[in-house]
Amino acid sequence: MKRALPLTRLAQQLLAQALGPGDLAVDATAGNGHDTLWLAQRVSPDGQVYAFDIQAQALQATAQRLQAAMLGETVTLCHCGHELLLPQVPAHWQGRVSAITFNLGYLPGSDKQVTTLVGSTRQALGHALRLLKTGGALSVLAYRGHPGGQAEADAVAQWFEEHAGQLDCQVHESPGPVLYYCTRRQPRAGT
């Protein structure tokens, strides 16, 4: 029997369809830096990535990965929550970002009480939608096994339902996390 692709790898595989050299990308939850590094590799040499995390430990791990890969200049690290996406990225990025990724939950190997939250995540998703270009991709991996995780996953599902007219979405379920992968539709005339 063929083993299912982990949702983290599936998210990257799907995002790769919308992302290439010279593009703009955002990692809304840098964590240990795996997705940030992957985004930087995809957009280099001329693209740029913004990566966000509220934990200094996460940004240190991310910076070390980027330096080891000689991609530190490709990424701007922001020590703040993802609800500050819009105020932190350059204004001229609005409507020009090719890919945005979220891994919701907590930083592996750290304090499991420090998690992403429903309110800030919904706000960040709203900002992400404003940043995405037509055809741009949004990936949200919501972990449901920790306290508050199921409520956050439900809020993400509701947010995607509310914005169904602007996004074409796929949902990939697993016993643990759920992956939402969407691309931004062409805006309708007059909207």
Containing structural domain, residue 119: 7-184
For the chain, what is the domain count?
1
Q: What is the pTM of this model?
A: 0.89
CATH of the domain at 44: 3.40.50.150
Measured CA to CA, the distance from residue 117 to residue 107 in angstroms comes to 13
Q: In whole angstroms, how large is the CA radius of gyration of the chain?
A: 16
Q: For residue 191, tell me if it sits in a domain.
A: no
Q: For residue 189, tell me if it sits in a domain.
A: no
Residue 133 makes CB contacts below 8 A (sequence gap 6+) with 95, 96, 97, 98, 184
User: Which CA distances in Å does 64 have to 17, 22, 32, 36, 46?
Assistant: 27, 23, 10, 11, 21
Query: Is 104 exposed, middle or buried, given 0-12, 13-18 or 19+ CB atoms closer than 10 A?
Result: buried
Q: For residue 79, tell me if it sits in a domain.
A: yes
Q: For residue 90, tell me if it sits in a domain.
A: yes
Q: For residue 44, tell me if it sits in a domain.
A: yes
pLDDT, one tens digit for every residue, the chain (191 residues): 455 678 889 999 999 999 999 999 999 999 889 999 999 999 999 999 999 998 888 899 999 999 999 999 999 999 998 889 899 999 999 999 999 999 887 545 555 565 555 568 888 999 999 999 999 999 998 887 667 678 878 888 899 899 988 999 999 888 888 899 999 988 766 55
